[in-house]
Amino acid sequence: MPKDSDRISAGPSDPATRTQQLRTIIDIQSMLVSVEFDLSSFLRIVVEHVQQLTNASGAVIELVEDTDMVYGAASGTLAPHVGFRLPRANTLSGLCVQTRQILQSVDTSLDPRVDAVTCRKIGAASMIVVPLLRLGETIGVLKVVSTVSHAFTEQECQTLGLMAGLLGAALGQQMEIEKRQQLEKRLQFMAQNDGLTGLPNRSLFDDRLAQALRRTHRTQGVLAVMYIDIDFFKSVNDQYGHAVGDAVLQIFAARASAVIRSADTLARLGGDEFALIAENLRTYEDAENIAAKLIAATREAIVLQDQQQLNISVSIGIALAFEVTAESIALLRQADVALYEAKKAGRNCFRRAPN
């Protein structure tokens, strides 16, 4: 005799209802392939419609991620659990991925295939789990649950199977689009940012400076550009090695980022050379206050892995743009000259170029 946990309710077989469900599935698929969605919106729309097609209290798309299943989107009673990770081992979802078959538990309290703890947590007294296939590979499962046992009919199993068959390819395509977009964003970030510190690189700095000057020209405000060098950085590399030198650059970047304003741009131009753009200043004293904060931020000793303490300092050259005719090349040259004056003055200080 079949176990109670495997028995499927026959349920009513209404041709009109079945036809309406098929039409709904086709409409959903047409909408998903004709409109551009990001992955999260795509998944959310799917689970919302799937719940409406069945006698479910909640629906979820679980995506395969290594040895886990991750709740990518959920509706109804499962909505609060988005992001939940479920081990594939000893779960109905994992078994569905392994067998690529539609599985049902009519009473999870009697079914040894389910994770009883998780079922109680999400309020799943019965469930249907359907594999989502893309080019022969299981990329996830579509699951519906109910807070009562024996909630689903054989017809609903068939409906979900059909729905999953249509959605698998569309979901796989959407995931590929998402991966490509993430890769493009990553490549763009790498092209514009320093790989060690994550700060904008010279190319992005130059672009932002040009934009900042245009804004300053319109508002006739005050803009400051600062060149920042870590004092005696070559000696750090020579004495402690490049790994420590890299750590020093990262620590300085983090400390400096913490004390500047959110609208300011701190960039690494190369080596131990950094630069800062500060807009919307009122007077040159505002720029000097920012420089003083940067110098103070570096004074705390850096503790190395062997518990040695390393003290660093920075020298800063400041150039200000007051006139609406200020140009980036001239401004950078002034900041460079001011930096040289700071080093001549003994380092660990700032100097401002004459207005």
Residues recognised as catalytic: 272
Beta-sheet pairing, 273-281 with 222-230:
antiparallel
Chain centroid offset of residue 150 CA: 40
CA distance 295 to 252: 10
251-259: long-range pairs with CB below 8 Å, 24+: 251/302, 252/298, 252/312, 252/314, 253/197, 253/198, 253/199, 255/297, 255/298, 255/300, 256/228, 256/294, 256/297, 256/298, 257/199, 258/297, 259/293, 259/294, 259/296, 259/297
Q: Rounded to 10 degrees, what is the CA torsion of 250, 251, 254, 257?
A: -100
CA distance 185 to 218: 31
CA distance 169 to 133: 7
Whether 132 contacts 140, CB under 8 Å: yes
CA distance 97 to 258: 46
> Residue 112's closest CA among 94, 98, 92?
92
CA distance 257 to 264: 9
> Residue 143's closest CA among 109, 170, 118?
118
Cα-Cα end-to-end distance for the chain: 94
CA distance 208 to 267: 10
> Residue 315's closest CA among 271, 272, 257?
272
Reading the block at residue 60, the tokens are 């979820």
